Amino acid sequence: MPAAVLPPWLARLPSEDGLVFISDARRYSHDEAAYDTQYPIDAGNLKVGQGLIKWLRTIAADFSAPALELGCGTGLLSLGLIADSPYPLAIISDPSPEFLRITRAKAVAATLDQTRTCFAVLKGEELDRLPAGTLSLIVLRATLHHVLDVEAFLRSASRVLLPGGILAFQEPCMEGCILMGAMIQFLPALAAGAGEPLSPEQKKKVDDFANAMAFYARRDVDKSQAEDKHLFRVDEVMVTARRHGLDVTFDGNVSFDYPVLEPTPAPRAFSKSFRSYARYCMSWDESMMALFDRHIAPMTRLIDTASGGGPGPYLDGVFMCRKVR
Ligand SMILES: C[S@@+](CC[C@H](N)C(=O)[O-])C[C@H]1O[C@@H](n2cnc3c(N)ncnc32)[C@H](O)[C@@H]1O
């Protein structure tokens, strides 16, 4: 009975302060509390995890065994997963105990019932430590791009899932990110041409953006020490996952919360996502965003127009992989 295997297995592992240690702890590359301030998640925000559960119901997913979230961070997906969990157990994990404490505190603040929840320290690379065929769900949001060997991860995920179990992940995609990097390079020339040349500090911010996109996309450099390692190609994920018994569907430019948003939105427009990426992921300030709006935003309109009736170039998206054997 797969649902009964994990609770006693977890109970035998070392634990401290209510956290179970499947892996040794590893801190995040940025201060966890500061990360929580940069990407604030209100304890009442249950939409992402609730959207995931609704999505899983529409594809008739199996809920008989436990669910595992890898890389919970500050709980953006975890809170709704705990709130709406149809699983016998939801294991919320991260390599960083600090992130687990932040997420657990938010679950307490939201008065969520945690009787079927376990908080565990776990690295994606060590997923194989779990017994085979014991999970109905493995979910990651913006976490798989931190794992160096994606194929080894897909192999392990397939091993620990039950037949019919789901591996779900939302990750950045190569084509849209390279497009952002290519376009942002033109900002200094466009601004200079309009009579407002960028300062050396502003030029560095543009270079950092473009170089980050190139680094994430590259496959010919050692990324073992880098925090962000990959951008994903849908075709590659499909072929690689299939090698390990996982059937993949993909929805581009949507997030896990998509099924609970009212009214159902169209896939996110490239211009909006590009702007948000500059503002929040590259931490551009007001003056940089004003330059973006004057010189880059007008150039993105063609891409929105060309994306009419479809998702356009993928900046990210949701991969749903079902274990078929
Ligand atoms: C960009 S944050 C995303 C956090 C959260 N899932 C969200 O969507 O807000 C990446 C998370 O992955 C975790 N992480 C980094 N490397 C990891 C690894 N090798 N295995 C599992 N989690 C990892 C980090 O500690 C962090 O919590």
pLDDT tens digit string along 70-119?
999 999 999 999 999 999 999 999 999 999 999 999 999 999 999 999 99
Within 10 Å of residue 73's Cβ, how many Cβ atoms?
A: 23
Q: Would you say residue 260 has pLDDT above 80?
A: yes
> What are the sequence ranges of the domains in the chain?
2-172+232-260+318-323, 174-228+268-306
Q: Would you say residue 295 has pLDDT above 90?
A: yes
Contact 13, 21 (CB under 8 A): yes
Nearest CA to ligand 1 atom 1: 142
Tell how far the Cα of 93 is from the centroid of ligand 1, in angstroms: 9
Tell how far the Cα of 312 is from the centroid of ligand 1, in angstroms: 27
- With cut-offs at 50, 70 and 90, classify the pLDDT of residue 1: low
Instruction: Name every residue whose Cβ is closer than 8 Å to that of residue 246 and which is 6 or more positions away in sequence.
Output: 154, 157, 158, 167, 321, 322, 323, 324
Q: Is 128 helix (H, G, I), strand (E, B) or coil?
A: helix
Q: What whole-number percentage of the chain has pLDDT above 70?
A: 99
Fold of 2-172+232-260+318-323: Rossmann fold (3.40.50)
pLDDT value, residue 280: 93
Q: Is 317 helix (H, G, I), strand (E, B) or coil?
A: strand
Per-residue CA distances from 106 to 5, 37, 78, 94 (Å): 28, 14, 10, 15
Shortest-distance atom of ligand 1 to CA 28 = 25
- Asked which of 34-48, 209-223, 284-298 is least confident by mean pLDDT, the reply is 34-48
Q: Encoding tokens for residue 29?
A: 């590359």
Tell how far the Cα of 240 is from the centroid of ligand 1, in angstroms: 22
Cα separation, 48 vs 79, whole angstroms: 8
pLDDT value, residue 73: 96
Strand 316-323 versus strand 161-172 pairing type: antiparallel
Q: Stretch 300-315: mean pLDDT, rounded?
A: 95
Residue the block writes with tokens 């290519």: 182
- Reported as a single tens digit per residue, the pLDDT across 233-259 is 999 999 999 999 999 999 999 999 999
Q: Would you say residue 325 has pLDDT above 70?
A: no
Tell how far the Cα of 142 is from the centroid of ligand 1, in angstroms: 7
Angle between helix 234-243 and helix 150-160 axes, rounded to 10 deg:
50
- Reported as a single tens digit per residue, the pLDDT across 135-152 is 999 999 999 999 999 999
Q: Stretch 144-169: mean pLDDT, rounded?
A: 98
pLDDT value, residue 309: 92
- With cut-offs at 50, 70 and 90, classify the pLDDT of residue 35: confident
Q: Would you say residue 57 has pLDDT above 70?
A: yes
Q: Stretch 120-145: mean pLDDT, rounded?
A: 98
- Asked which of 53-57, 153-157, 263-267, 298-302 is least confident by mean pLDDT, the reply is 263-267
Tell how far the Cα of 200 is from the centroid of ligand 1, in angstroms: 33
Q: Would you say residue 42 has pLDDT above 90?
A: no
Cα separation, 300 vs 283, whole angstroms: 20
Nearest CA to ligand 1 atom 15: 146
pLDDT value, residue 322: 98
Tell how far the Cα of 122 is from the centroid of ligand 1, in angstroms: 10
Which H or E run includes 20? Answer: strand 19-21
- Reported as a single tens digit per residue, the pLDDT across 169-226 is 999 999 999 999 999 999 999 999 999 999 999 999 999 999 999 999 999 999 999 9
By most ligand atoms within 8 Å of CB, the mutation choice from 146, 170, 228 for ligand 1 is: 146
Q: Encoding tokens for residue 39?
A: 């990407």
User: What is the CB < 6 Å shell around ligand 1?
Assistant: 28, 70-74, 76-77, 94-96, 99, 123-125, 141-143, 146-147
Shortest-distance atom of ligand 1 to CA 26 = 25
